[in-house]
């Protein structure tokens, strides 16, 4: 027998939670587990700019033949413009090369494959905690990983000094994975001054930054959220970026992400690109077209681009407003000071709730939160916030 020895994998904690949520008959149930944006009505909408781009594509598309291995060149250029800024020499200068990968996940995996295949490095340093897939992707690609501390439970902030102390053990040539903004799961990002220190540290220690940029525009704005990445780019000649359009264009199931690699000069970049193509070819042959065409259409059409920016602003502001409202309601409910929630960025918040409290919230109040206490703030709305705040106040008493 070939398969007899196979043991059942542990259930994915977040997907398992969604299943239990679906089966909960309580009409007042609240799901703060999932990692997708929801509007005030609790719906994950298709953006208007996307709908309009899809209409244009539908009317003009003449073939479903394969895209180039790296995707459309214009998609790569627009992606670089977004991450490095329109004025950056990295957009057209030839040092940075980009390929479309299926989602941020695809970009992370193909980036890790490239590192392994090309003997770029053997070890990755990944934050603790992080989006759990980071650890699995490193392992699946055949890379070793170590964790560096990130979250300070006492201050609900960044464990900055401990992070650098631990990274001091990294050896020259190791890779450091950083979240560009809206750190998942904590919502805590370095300040500009901290980014500068991180960038100096990485460049002095000759480490390779691998930046996961899954939430551009969800923190403070498209340009603001790229600040840390751009500081790193100004100090480090080489870097890898895995970016995603899942969240900021709401293209979750279309799988649009990008892997961008920056080399010290354009001759090296051309060789890197030739090997990135092999990594893509081996994993997926060539990318799916629809989402990539949507992104290219939205970003290159002035009207749709302006519409996208306003829709993205609305999503970001809704999340910010919910943070403020939750903190207010928690105060009103006598839960004490949760001000740190308004300091965090993006869709997620480390609430500080422990496993037992999370369990009581689920069993007694039909409120679904991941065991770590991570809350998806986008799941909060004006209708459920009162009940949520009261329940939290109750469990932490």
CB of 348 to ligand PMP, least distance (A): 8
Q: Does 127 bind ligand PMP (CB under 6 A)?
A: no
- Among the candidate windows 46-54, 103-111, 156-164, 232-240, which touches ligand PMP by CB under 6 A? 103-111
Nearest-CB residue for ligand PMP: 103
Q: Does 184 bind ligand PMP (CB under 6 A)?
A: yes
Taking the least distance from each CB to ligand PMP, the nearer of 184 and 349 is: 184
Binding string, residues 33-52; x marks residues near ligand PMP by CB under 6 A: --x-----------------
Which residues are paired to 31 by β-bridges? 368
Q: Is 104 in the site for ligand PMP (CB under 6 A)?
A: yes
φ/ψ bin of 330: left (φ > 0), alpha (ψ from -120 to 50), beta (otherwise): alpha
Question: Tokens 């490239």 — which residue?
Answer: 114
Closer to ligand PMP at the Cβ: 149 or 291?
291
Helix axes 355-365, 385-396, angle to 10 degrees: 130
Q: Does 179 bind ligand PMP (CB under 6 A)?
A: yes
DSSP assigned state of 380: -
Segment near ligand PMP (CB under 6 A), from 11-19, 102-110, 113-121, 283-291? Answer: 102-110
For ligand PMP, the closer of residues 218 and 365 by Cβ is 218
Taking CB under 6 A as the rule, does residue 257 contact ligand PMP?
A: yes
Q: Which is nearer to ligand PMP, 35 or 228 (CB)?
A: 35
Hey, which residues does 98 pair with through a beta bridge?
260
Beta strand ranges found along the chain (DSSP E) = 30-31, 96-101, 123-128, 144-149, 151-152, 157-158, 175-179, 208-213, 239-244, 257-262, 348-350, 367-368, 374-376
**Residue that the structure tokens 């990968």 belong to:** 101
Using the contact rule CB under 6 A, the part of the chain among 100-108, 151-159, 217-225, 306-314 near ligand PMP is 100-108
Residue 88 CB coordination number (10 Å): 17
How many CB atoms neighbour CB 180 within 10 A? Answer: 25
Site for ligand PMP in 203-242 (CB under 6 A): 212, 214
Neighbours of 324 (CB within 10 A): 12
Q: Is 363 in the active site?
A: no
The active-site residue, picked from 125, 212, 293, 308, is 212
Please state, in angstroms and rounded to a whole number, the distance separating the CA atoms of residues 320 and 151.
21
Instruction: Find the catalytic residue in 125, 131, 195, 308.
Output: 131
Among 21, 37, 125, 131, binds ligand PMP (CB under 6 A): 131
Q: Closest Cα to residue 215, out of 82, 370, 121?
A: 82
Does residue 293 belong to the site contacting ligand PMP (CB under 6 A)? no
Q: How far apart are CA 212 and CA 94, in angstroms?
A: 21
> CB of 104: closest distance to ligand PMP in angstroms?
3
Residues assigned a catalytic role: 131, 212, 247
Binding site for ligand PMP (CB under 6 A): 35, 103-105, 131, 179, 184, 212, 214, 244, 246, 252, 257
């Amino acid at each position: 027998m070939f398969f007899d020895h196979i043991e059942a994998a542990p259930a994915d904690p977040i997907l398992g939670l969604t299943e239990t949520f679906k089966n909960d008959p309580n009409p007042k149930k609240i799901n703060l587990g999932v990692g997708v944006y929801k509007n005030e009505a609790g719906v994950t909408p298709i953006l208007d700019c996307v709908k309009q781009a899809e209409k244009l594509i539908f009317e003009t598309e003449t073939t479903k033949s394969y895209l180039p291995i790296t995707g459309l060149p214009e998609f790569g250029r627009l992606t670089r413009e977004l991450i490095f800024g329109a004025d950056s020499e990295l957009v057209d200068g030839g040092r940075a090369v980009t390929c479309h990968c299926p989602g941020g996940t695809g970009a992370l995996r193909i980036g890790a494959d490239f590192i392994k295949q090309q003997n770029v490095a053997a070890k990755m340093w990944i934050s603790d905690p992080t989006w759990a897939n980071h650890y699995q992707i490193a392992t699946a690609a055949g890379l070793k990983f170590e964790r560096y501390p990130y979250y300070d439970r006492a201050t609900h902030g960044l464990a900055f000094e401990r992070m650098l102390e631990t990274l001091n053990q990294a050896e020259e040539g190791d890779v450091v994975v950083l979240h560009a903004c809206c750190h998942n799961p904590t919502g805590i990002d370095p300040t500009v001054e901290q980014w500068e220190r991180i960038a100096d540290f990485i460049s002095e220690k000759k480490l390779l930054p691998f930046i996961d940029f899954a939430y551009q525009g969800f923190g403070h704005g498209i340009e603001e959220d790229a600040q840390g990445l751009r500081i790193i780019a100004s100090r480090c000649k080489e870097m890898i970026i895995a970016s995603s359009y899942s969240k900021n264009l709401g293209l979750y199931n279309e799988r649009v992400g990008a892997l961008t690699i920056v080399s010290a000069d354009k001759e090296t970049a051309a060789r890197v690109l030739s090997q990135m193509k092999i990594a893509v070819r081996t994993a997926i042959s060539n990318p799916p077209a629809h989402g990539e065409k949507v992104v290219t259409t939205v970003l290159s059409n002035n009207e749709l681009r302006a519409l996208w920016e306003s829709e993205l602003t609305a999503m970001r502001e809704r999340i910010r407003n919910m943070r403020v409202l939750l903190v207010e309601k928690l105060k009103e409910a006598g839960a004490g000071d949760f001000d740190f929630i308004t300091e965090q960025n993006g869709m997620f918040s480390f609430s500080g709730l422990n496993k037992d409290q999370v369990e009581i919230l689920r069993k007694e109040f039909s409120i679904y939160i991941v065991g770590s206490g991570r809350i998806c703030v986008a799941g909060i709305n004006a209708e459920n916030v009162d009940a949520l705040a009261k329940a939290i106040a109750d469990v932490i008493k």
